[in-house]
Amino acid sequence: MTIYDFFQEQIVPIFKTDYQNFDSKNVEGYAVFKAKWDKVEREAMVTDDILELLRHILEKFVKSTKYKEEDLSKFQISRWYVNGFTMAYNYCRRYDLGHPHQQTDFTEFAKKLKSSEDLEQGEWNVDKFRKYTINLGRHEGTLFYIAENPITTEKDEEKSTPVVVQNEVHLSPQINVAAPQPSVVINNMVNSEKPVKSEDKEPEGKTEDEHKNHEYLFPDGILQDLYEQYNDLVFKRISSFEEFKNILTRDVHQERLAECPNCKLMMYSILYSLQQLLPDSTRKDWLNDIANECGYKVDIIEKKHTGNDASSESTKAKMEEIDELFDEYR
């Protein structure tokens, strides 16, 4: 990755959002999908089949929950899809930028992201719809990147163009490319963690403080959910999930957790609820450590985490949403 690319991909997103503008993209079979839940439109790409699926998800969501039906582009279904799409598309793009001399085949990655859930089977709550739609966005974001950046070689250029058929990507078997292992896939959801290599050895001379993060192990999925839903909405933008995870597990990190304007009560709620997911033996130390870094007082977090003195209905609603998210992990 060049210095310019590093600046654009790692520094600029700290101050601006990580959303992409797809208006200039022209890939056969895809159209721009515009979501309007935010102050400005957020974009992804979508095929006709996936657009119909999103409409079906909205229909099922309204029937299964207390929410009223709205225009798809303004509903949180669109937000979940765009966030998932953006995350996967940016991951693939940055992976290739970091490996300029390697042609990377993301086909297997896309296959692992394809959900096995059936919308017509079982009971679906808000969290299940959210995870399903975010993962759909990840799957489609990866497929779009593959379609936009076909793998070619001078010898097999004509044979290697991927063909998208019913959201499946087929690449010519003659091409020998290095397949990445960009994520660990669990239950069709992606945790952005590097795979553990058997030959890796623990560096010598680590201090007790460097091992401190091993004390703070949260349930699988909660940190990913928080990052996807509230990054740049409740807390100021953290450039990557890995950095966010390091902050909360108290591992080595460069950025600092800070609330967005008018979101301090929501931050209190998140930190208090995270503390409750830890064993009794580590809760106090973790909250003291993270609160000190954020510039908060522990007693204030414990008093105001419920948001009883919230000044607006929207804040109260957001606090309830955060509480519902944590209910899945308690």
Are 236 and 141 in a shared domain?
no
CA distance 238 to 226: 12
Are 253 and 146 in a shared domain?
no
Residue 304 lies inside a defined structural domain of this protein: yes
Give the pLDDT score at 63.
Answer: 82
Task: Read off the pTM.
Answer: 0.50
Are 149 and 230 in a shared domain?
no
Give the pLDDT score at 46.
Answer: 93
Residue 204 lies inside a defined structural domain of this protein: no
Are 155 and 260 in a shared domain?
no
Q: For all residues of the chain together, what is the average pLDDT?
A: 75
Residue 97 lies inside a defined structural domain of this protein: yes
Residue 255 lies inside a defined structural domain of this protein: yes
Q: Using the 3D structure, point to which of 160, 191, 222 is the last residue of a domain.
A: 191
Query: Binning pLDDT at 50, 70 and 90, where does residue 17 land?
Result: low
Residue 106 lies inside a defined structural domain of this protein: yes
CB burial of residue 67 (10 Å; 0-12, 13-18, 19+): middle
Domain that holds residue 80: 3-191
Across-strand partners of 231? 235
Are 214 and 168 in a shared domain?
no
Are 215 and 323 in a shared domain?
yes
Mean pLDDT along residues 156-170: 42
Are 160 and 268 in a shared domain?
no
Are 38 and 152 in a shared domain?
yes
Are 218 and 177 in a shared domain?
no
Nearest of 251, 244, 294, 291 to residue 272 by alpha carbon: 291
Nearest of 242, 112, 81, 235 to residue 181 by alpha carbon: 112
Answer left, alpha or beta for residue 180, where phi above 0 means left and psi between -120 and 50 means alpha. Answer: beta
Residue that wins the pLDDT comparison between 142 and 14 = 142
Residue 152 lies inside a defined structural domain of this protein: yes
Q: Is the dihedral angle over the CA atoms 211, 296, 244, 225 positive or is it negative?
A: positive
Across-strand partners of 33? 44
Quick check: 271 pLDDT over 90? yes
Q: Using the 3D structure, point to which of 161, 191, 221 is the last residue of a domain.
A: 191
Q: Flag the least confident range among 4-13, 103-112, 171-180.
A: 171-180
Q: Which residues of 231-245 are buried (b: 16+ CB within 10 A; e: fewer)?
A: bbebbbbbbbbebbb
Quick check: 31 pLDDT over 80? yes
Mean pLDDT along residues 133-137: 90
Are 297 and 167 in a shared domain?
no
Q: Using the 3D structure, point to which of 191, 219, 246 is the last residue of a domain.
A: 191
Mean pLDDT along residues 12-36: 79
Residue 133 lies inside a defined structural domain of this protein: yes
- How many structural domains are present in the chain? 2
CA distance 54 to 68: 16
Are 25 and 142 in a shared domain?
yes
Q: Flag the least confident range among 112-126, 207-221, 259-273, 301-315.
A: 207-221
Residue 121 lies inside a defined structural domain of this protein: yes
Are 185 and 219 in a shared domain?
no
CA angle (210, 215, 218) in 5-degree steps: 120
C-alpha pair distances (Å), 226 with each of 67, 220, 258, 324: 22, 12, 14, 12
32 in helix, strand or coil? Answer: strand
Give the pLDDT score at 195.
Answer: 30
- Residue 278's CB is within 10 A of a number of other CB atoms, namely 18
